[in-house]
Amino acid sequence: MLGYGKSEQGKAKDAGNSRDGHCQRKISTPYGDIAVDVHRDRNGEFSTALLKPYQRRTDDIGQTVAKPCSAGTADSEISEFVGFLHESSYPASTVSMITDCLKEDVEAFRTSPIEADWLAIFIDSTYVPLRRKTVEKEAINIAMGITMEGERRVIGWSITPQESATEWTSLLQSFKKRGMKSARIVVSDGLAGIDSVIDETFPKALHQRCVVHLARDLGAKVRPSDRAPIMHGFMALAKMPSRKEALTGFAGFLAKWGAEYPSIKRWGDSLNLDEVFAFYSFHESLRGKLYTNNCIEGFNKQIKRLLKKHIQFVDEEAMEKCLVSIFLHYNDKVGKRTIRGREHIDEKLIED
């Protein structure tokens, strides 16, 4: 690098630089700590190809530290875990610094291209504690989907103080910028304004209201003694052979229970039945995957369980590193299992 040999010190003046001995750097490896002599030059221009500037651990250590994030492990627990495996002591603050390598994963996940056409998109929010100036629960807005090959994927997320139709518009628009062109159906809860969001972003997609959310709405309108038969009766409408029979059954349901509970009659009259029974437009083997938000609600419960160890996140960046680690693990493991009925995904919609 200097351009002259060790015995040619007379050339140092002409070169404008010279040797300056070496420094010893401790490197943590999966096999323990080793001491490495790193040569120096007077101008500080030399760097070895073996180690990055200021590197203190091998990539194996970084992966060992980062991987437990997908299981929601707290930094203090990771510190103990790594110390046991590699006989190296890392304080929780150092573990947090090491997991900064996940920042690249966060940005890559946020901007990576996605499939153009999707069978379904499921959207829902869950709330976890987050520190800004104070600690309050904020919404993690998550979108999952089923590809045309029948694979489940986490598509994207955002973190906001509250769930809102405006935020869902922004998130769905970001998917279109990443390459998404269409979805055959979008499944959501009853958030106000979500109908307009779906019509604006994916005008050709059907909109399915989560039947389980609707059943819960019903349960809140009746006496505890009537709750089970009413909710079960409504859920049974999702198991009918066809949309026509489901509509007939819904009319009978309203006639029976609406006479006793006028609030149920008003509730039923206010529903858009195209959104309640949209899933009947698909092959019967796919309907069970499309009439509820159960897949994303189950995933949200898992996220809350994994994040519970953290109690609260010090900032949004720390939360995103943990979340993306969980998303990547899901997409790589669970998401690659194709759903039953995938051979019917390309079939035309059923018209009753």
The pLDDT score that the predictor gives to residue 95 is 56
How many domains is the chain built from?
Answer: 3
Q: What is the sign, positive or negative, of the torsion defined by CA atoms of 155, 156, 162, 168?
A: negative
Instruction: Tell me, yes or no, whether 232 lies in a domain.
Output: yes
Contact 206, 184 (CB under 8 A): yes
Residue 87 placed within a domain: no
Task: Say what the pLDDT of residue 229 is.
Answer: 95
Residue 231 and residue 189 in one domain: no
- Indicate if 277 and 345 belong to the same structural domain: no
For the chain, the distance separating the N- and C-terminal CA atoms, rounded to the nearest angstrom, is 77
Closest to 191 measured CA to CA, from 287, 267, 101, 124:
124
| Helices and strands per DSSP (H, E), number in the chain | 15, 7
> Two tokens at 132?
């800004």
Assess if residue 318 is contained within a domain.
no
**Which residues make Cβ contacts (< 8 Å) with residue 108, sequence separation at least 6?**
none
Angle at 73 between CA 72 and CA 76, to 5 degrees: 145
Specify if 268 maps to a domain. Answer: yes
Residues 345 and 204 grouped into a single domain = yes
Does one domain contain both 7 and 45? Answer: yes
Q: What is the pLDDT of residue 98?
A: 57
Q: Report yes or no on 1 lying in a domain.
A: yes
Q: What is the pLDDT of residues 298-330, one digit of tens each?
A: 888 888 887 776 555 667 887 888 888 889 888
| Statement to judge: residues 216 and 204 lie in one domain | no
Range(s) of the domain holding residue 201: 116-208+334-352
Q: Is the sign of the CA dihedral 159, 160, 166, 168 positive or negative?
A: positive
CATH number for 175: 3.30.420.10
Per-residue pLDDT, 97: 58
Q: Is residue 171 located within the same domain as residue 241?
A: no
243 shares its domain with 218: yes
Residue 103 in domain: no
Q: Let me know whether 216 and 160 are in one domain.
A: no
Token code pair at residue 150: 């029948």
Picking from 12, 32, 56, the residue at the C-terminal end of a domain is 56
Q: How many CB atoms lie within 10 A of CB 322?
A: 24
The answer to whether residues 191 and 241 belong to one domain is no
Strand partners, 146: 120, 152
Residues 197 and 274 in one domain: no
- Identify whether 308 is part of a domain: no
Q: What digits encode the pLDDT tens for the residues 51-69?
A: 666 565 555 555 555 555 5
Q: Is residue 89 part of a domain?
A: no
Note down pLDDT in tens along the chain; length 352 residues: 777 777 776 666 666 787 878 777 766 665 556 777 878 877 777 777 676 665 655 555 555 555 555 455 555 555 555 555 555 555 655 555 555 666 778 888 999 999 999 999 999 999 988 888 888 899 999 999 999 999 999 999 999 999 999 999 999 999 999 999 999 999 999 888 999 999 999 999 999 999 999 999 999 999 999 999 999 999 999 999 999 999 999 999 999 999 999 999 999 999 999 999 999 999 999 999 999 998 898 888 888 887 776 555 667 887 888 888 889 888 988 888 899 999 999 888 886 5
- Indicate yes or no: pTM above 0.85: no
Tokens of 73: 């492990």
Residues 136, 204 within the same domain:
yes
- pLDDT, residue 275, reads 95
Q: Does residue 24 sit in the same domain as residue 50?
A: yes
